[in-house]
């Protein structure tokens, strides 16, 4: 991918980061990130470390999404003869909800915003595969029954 301002912005938005979030991560103002993305500000290009971060996060998002979809499709194949119900995708309202309610090992020590980004990407892929799904919030801690 070429390091253009348009590619930088598109990558940031695909991953789901706001300009303010990126600014906080790199210790700059949100206005600086806006300048990185403005085509008329040739002298204000995004720094390499910001590019590296976005490319790395995009790769991590893609891998997590593909791994999740592969696992879902495998489960659907195993249950092919059972009632056709939508795939349930858990969506987290807060970091505390993820920490308290997730029983998925790969979610341990993850940021809930990243997990939700993966969930949205999974939903997009399931939609493309014509697999029905629904989002739910977990409302009770793991193991409470």
Give residue-wise pLDDT tens across range 6-28.
Answer: 999 999 999 989 999 999 999 99
**E strand segments, 27-102:** 87-90
Per-residue confidence band for 145, with pLDDT thresholds at 50, 70 and 90: very low
Say if pTM beats, i.e. exceeds, 0.85.
no
CA distance 19 to 28: 10
CA dihedral 48, 54, 58, 59 (to 10 degrees): 40
CA distance 133 to 89: 7
- Crossing angle of helices 5-15 and 48-78, rounded to 10°: 40
């Amino acid at each position: 991918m070429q390091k253009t301002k348009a590619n930088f912005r598109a990558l940031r938005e695909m991953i789901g980061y706001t300009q303010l979030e990126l600014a906080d991560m790199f210790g700059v103002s949100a206005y600086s990130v806006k300048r990185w993305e403005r085509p008329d500000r040739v002298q204000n290009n995004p720094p390499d470390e910001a590019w590296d971060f976005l490319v790395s996060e995009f790769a991590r998002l893609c891998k997590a999404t593909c791994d999740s979809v592969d696992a879902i499709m495998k489960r659907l194949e195993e249950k092919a003869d059972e009632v056709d119900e939508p795939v349930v995708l858990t969506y987290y309202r807060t970091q505390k909800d993820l920490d308290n309610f997730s029983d998925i090992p790969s979610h341990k020590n993850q940021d809930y915003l990243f997990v939700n980004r993966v969930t949205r990407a999974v939903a997009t892929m399931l939609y493309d595969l014509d697999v029905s799904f629904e989002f739910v919030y977990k409302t009770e801690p793991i193991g409470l029954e």
